[in-house]
């Protein structure tokens, strides 16, 4: 068993599951979406991106691209959250929460694509 591939797969799947955990729930209800879970999703996605940087294959490039998309979406969600809570006089509104969850949903799609590619690549490997 290759420990490097185990760690790589672990972080890719963990990024997906954390993102899904944040995304699930009523789109406009802040009680269903925890800021700590969003933060952890961002951190794990950044780690997964770092692990993808060394792969020079075509599939590696696609995996990196999906990871960069997920990072961009999640960081955008965090920026919207910070503006809503700390800058906006209205605070966290249902429309702001919907925007945050929508951005996290885009990251979720990118993470699903990444895990699908990882599984497909694993299935195509020959011993």
Residue 69, pLDDT score: 97
Give the span between the Cα atoms of 124 and 60, in whole angstroms.
14
- Total domain count, the chain: 1
Residues 40-66 have pLDDT tens digits of: 999 999 999 999 887 888 999 999 999
Owning domain of residue 89: 3-124
Residues 76-113 have pLDDT tens digits of: 999 999 999 999 999 999 999 999 999 999 999 999 99
Total-model pTM: 0.92
**DSSP assignment of 35-95, as one string?**
HHHHHHHHHHHHHHHHHHTT--SHHHHHHHHHHHHHHHHHHHHHHHHHIIIII-SS-S-HH
């Amino acid at each position: 068993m290759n420990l490097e591939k185990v760690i790589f797969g672990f972080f890719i799947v963990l990024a997906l599951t954390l993102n899904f955990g944040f995304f699930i729930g009523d789109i406009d209800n802040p009680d269903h979406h925890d800021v700590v879970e969003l933060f952890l999703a961002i951190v794990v996605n950044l780690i997964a991106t770092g692990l993808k940087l060394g792969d020079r294959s075509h599939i590696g490039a696609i995996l990196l691209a999906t990871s960069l998309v997920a990072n961009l979406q999640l960081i955008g969600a965090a920026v919207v959250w910070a503006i809503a809570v700390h800058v906006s006089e209205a605070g966290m509104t249902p429309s702001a929460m919907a925007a945050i969850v929508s951005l996290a949903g885009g990251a979720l799609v990118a993470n699903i694509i990444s895990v699908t590619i990882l599984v497909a690549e694993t299935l195509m490997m020959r011993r």
